[in-house]
Amino acid sequence: MAQSGTRNGVAEKIPASDLPQPVKVQRVRHTKIFINNEWHTSISGRTFPTRNPATGDIICEVQEADKEDVDKAVAAAKAAKEHGSAWRRMEPSRRGRLLQRLADLVERDRLLLA
């Protein structure tokens, strides 16, 4: 099946093979809250379902962060920027490589993250 599109005001057919294909949901490995380079269960222990927007099916249950979890994450972020912290003592080039690696992983998994 093909859809119609326009280019410069002229209708054209778009081959079905050129349309975006659904992303197959992969096994979800991480459902906890990531704070200070560690995975944590929420303080309340509550979770909520994450659904596939195309089908409404539940993909997994993830930890629900509350105020206490956010406060814990903010405290960890503040500690990371303090003088003498591991992040501040790290060579700037190494910090840059870590941030670049994060960007590469986000780019690699962009369809899954979307």
Looking at residue 87, its amino acid is W
**E-state strands within 8-114:** 10-14, 33-35, 38-40, 47-51, 58-63
Measured distance CA(49)–CA(89) in Å, rounded: 39
Q: What is the mean pLDDT of the chain?
A: 86
Q: 44-79, pLDDT tens digit by residue?
A: 999 999 988 878 889 899 999 999 999 999 999 999
**According to the model, what pLDDT value does residue 109 have?**
84
Residue 70 φ then ψ, to 5°: -65, -45
pLDDT over threshold 90, residue 96: yes
HSE-up of residue 91 (Cα within 13 Å, Cβ side): 3
Structure tokens at 68: 């206490």
pLDDT over threshold 90, residue 31: yes
